[in-house]
């Protein structure tokens, strides 16, 4: 396969991006089944990042149980805002030493986000810094598989529209 020679968050040549994203070679993330992902949301010292845009997040998102993972919502209008958010000192502080769970719709944004996180950790190490997480976990099959595994919803919360009473 061709080597990727671009920033992981920006558009690459289609042959590079497609191969990397569809084979999972772009990042170091661990893919787990929905039931394991559900269990991990109950663990302390864990954060969960919604890598989708703010509109998608407002419609539905994971809400970990009390005492479990901390939900981090970058509140992005689009994915080009993610690098600035993840590189901010306050975000790095929340990620430091934690297990990082990510989710998105189809997996490609999570793979790219994980690759960026990998780069930040390597750059920190090369510069003598200590920024390090306890690894990244994603749900295999994304939100769709999670909801199929937990038909009652599990920790997935959907915003319900408020219906006006009919006359």
| Cα–Cα distance, 106 to 15 (Å, whole number) | 18
Contacting residues for 127 by C-beta, under 8 A, at least 6 apart: none
Write down the catalytic residue from 6, 12, 18, 104: 104
Q: Report the chain's C-alpha Rg in angstroms.
A: 17
SS (H, E, C) 4-52: CCCCCCCCCCHHHHHHHHHHCCCCCCEEECHHHHHHHCCCCCEEEEECC
Residue 104 designated active-site: yes
Active site residues: 104
């Amino acid at each position: 396969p061709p080597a990727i020679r671009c920033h992981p968050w920006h558009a690459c040549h289609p042959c590079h991006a497609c191969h990397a994203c569809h084979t999972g070679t772009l990042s170091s993330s661990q893919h787990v089944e929905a039931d394991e992902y559900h269990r991990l949301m109950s663990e302390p010292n864990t954060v969960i990042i919604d890598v989708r845009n703010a509109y998608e997040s407002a419609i539905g998102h994971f809400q970990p149980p009390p005492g479990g993972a901390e939900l981090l919502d970058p509140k992005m209008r689009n994915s080009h805002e993610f690098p600035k958010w993840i590189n901010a000192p306050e975000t790095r502080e929340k990620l430091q030493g934690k297990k990082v769970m990510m989710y998105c719709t189809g997996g490609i944004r999570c793979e790219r986000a994980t690759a960026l996180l990998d780069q930040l950790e390597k750059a920190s190490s090369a510069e003598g810094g200590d920024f390090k997480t306890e690894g990244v976990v994603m749900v295999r099959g994304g939100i769709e598989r999670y909801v199929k595994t937990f038909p009652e919803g599990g920790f997935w919360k959907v915003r319900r529209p408020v219906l006006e009473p009919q006359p």
